[in-house]
Structure 1
């Protein structure tokens, strides 16, 4: 380890990836500042699903139990047709790739990570206009899909619209969920609806609809209520319970898989700044948490900053590119709008054994953090 792997780090962005990176670095004894342009940490985004790999990352960061205390343990996933007929059902038995999921408020995870940092680590209202002028041995871009740090790396990649839009909301308790402790997705023709129980009696709901980028809608909530009115219970009731003004809308964009270098010079990228992907695997937050753990480990074990960043990129690049491609494939499958293709898709899901579905998730969920030891080998990951 050299002086440049122990020097100060500036993290640009105070979201999940930025806070986790700062926490991982602090736990490794490295001085770090988080520069967040907002006046407060953003808890928006409604809910999250944390897979076993994300939970292991939280354990490595020392905040797994604090997060779990605010989460709902999900022991089953179900994919349905709009009439409620189950197409696929997977019980999560707590072992390996099929370990239980956690449903959590995004704001709760942000709060847990922020609370674990040293006081004064996060500097709010600090927008970075000149990345190269930031005084630090290492600048980490955790500033999302439109990253200013990635732009400063002169990387020729641009977000790509994927042909659909997602609406997200949190619904208060009071709705009778037919499948408690279960993540339920209902797939129609060019439309999807997800239901995720999260902590404190809240339910996270999301709706994906094929749409052009920026397609105008006079009243998003009223349109969704009309669109899903004939779908199975409790979906219409959940939409009826959404408070006006709380619905979040985002056109779905990603970065071309494998096209973004994870570091250049003294700049490095984590989370969506590095590998924004479609939200079809429930891995956006999880991969950002993994990035944080692996980057800190590389800096703690490599002989130089250059070697650490090269090791970080070797460990992360194949995995995040593979999962981004997989998420694109799932998105194409789930958002099919042609009746014949939808019928074939549904028959395929019905015929897929649960064990095969569990094995298919293994690429994402069996990941293990690197060994936290000064004598550990270069960061390695299960792929």
Structure 2
């Protein structure tokens, strides 16, 4: 029996995870990546327990945890630096089976690429279109064309696969705020806990990376398209906006290299009618791009990849398997996309009475209630695995 073949468009986290999951089930995979190399620059990533369960299904959870950092805890602070809510990583692990792990995106991509045959990774392979020529599926790309049994569109917010196979789908919508991301140099005394500080129409967050470095991010409610294109200019803007914020923000900014600031406007996708069309499936940002307020973008892409491979495992009818994948993934990711958007709206409040009400409500919310509210998001496990939520609501 000939080996089944899949072409995965996009070599980010979701695409590579799907390739690993299919490869380990005996599929021949090729990953077409537009960029000249399989890597990411300048940013950290938070992997919540549900993402670690997905990586566990790929056989990579231990390796990824070894490359990352686990903080004792974190939470949300107000503009004066007072804690509004706290999160205990030990309690996360007890409830959901894994802690929150933070690492550099490039380290996660490295773990995924090392789990694949080198000849399956095709960088510099921009995809122009996906079509059916009457004899089968065709992927037109810089290197020629591919004729796989399965196509997976994992090519991000402005997906070529989505645009050509779902031409009527609505495009990305601006969330109303922009984001800066940066990594500090190694600090002699890094903060013991991470936090997100909520201001008025602005936020600043930080969390630990290995080696004494910190991953920092900031947001501000601004019109789209205002990025200067200069890291030095964006750094100056960060210092202007956040340089007088509570400790440790000034020290963190002082430890950020001036040429290492990334700025991107934030978008999400309106809901799609389906993540599957025949033998073509979408996953990750191509299917359900969301704002980063819950830290779930990459986590959901990893869930997608594991679920997709599970649905295809032993299934003779690829189109039917993809319909099952769609039924499992679309309702969940739609709910999380909405929840992330709502949290972003709350975090970006700027009217002083609304900010006061928000901060007071957050301060009065018991920690256990906050964790329980996250169970629908963090309690996911790979299909067929036992539930990750180890305690009932009564605990």
Fold in common (TM above 0.5): yes
**Structure 2 unaligned spans of 5+:** 132-137, 140-146, 390-395
Contact 1:260-1:275 within 8 A present in 2 as well = no
- Aligned mates of 1:320, 1:8 — CA distance in 2: 27
Normalization by structure 2: what TM-score? 0.90
* CA apart distance, 1:45: 5.1
- Aligned mates of 2:53, 2:169 — CA distance in 1: 33
Q: Which of structures 1 and 2 has the larger relative contact order (alpha carbons within 8 angstroms, sep 6+)?
A: 1
- Aligned mates of 2:254, 2:333 — CA distance in 1: 37
- Aligned mates of 2:388, 2:160 — CA distance in 1: 28
CA-based RMSD: 1.9
2:250 paired residue among 214, 236, 243: 236
- Aligned mates of 2:223, 2:37 — CA distance in 1: 32
* CA apart distance, 1:138: 1.0
1:103 and 2:102 matched: yes
1:288 paired residue among 257, 277, 301: 301
1:75 and 2:75 matched: no
The match for 1:302 is 315
- Aligned mates of 1:381, 1:276 — CA distance in 2: 25
Contact 1:278-1:324 within 8 A present in 2 as well = yes
Question: Residue by residue, what CA displacement relative to the aligned partner does 1:281-336 show, whole Å, maximum 9, x if unpaired?
Answer: 11111110111100011111434112100000001011000000000110000000
1:201 paired residue among 193, 198, 212: 212
- Aligned mates of 1:356, 1:302 — CA distance in 2: 41
- Report the secondary structure of 1:24's partner residue: helix
Q: Any residues of structure 2 matched to 1:136-147 within 5 Å, and which?
A: 136-147=148-159
2:283 paired residue among 253, 270, 276: 270
* CA apart distance, 1:44: 2.3
Are the structure 2 counterparts of residues 117 and 216 from structure 1 closer, same or farther at C-alpha, using a change threshold of 3 Å? Answer: closer
2:292 paired residue among 248, 255, 279: 279
- Report the secondary structure of 1:215's partner residue: coil
* CA apart distance, 1:216: 4.9
- Report the secondary structure of 1:116's partner residue: coil
The match for 1:311 is 324
Q: Greater shift after overlay, 149-158 or 27-36? A: 149-158
The match for 1:210 is 221
Contact 2:277-2:319 within 8 A present in 1 as well = no
- Aligned mates of 1:45, 1:201 — CA distance in 2: 16
* CA apart distance, 1:381: 11
- Report the secondary structure of 1:359's partner residue: helix
- Aligned mates of 1:13, 1:319 — CA distance in 2: 22
* CA apart distance, 1:90: 2.1
Question: Residue by residue, what CA displacement relative to the aligned partner does 1:187-207 show, whole Å, maximum 9, x if unpaired?
Answer: 000000110101222210000
1:183 and 2:180 matched: no
The match for 1:375 is none
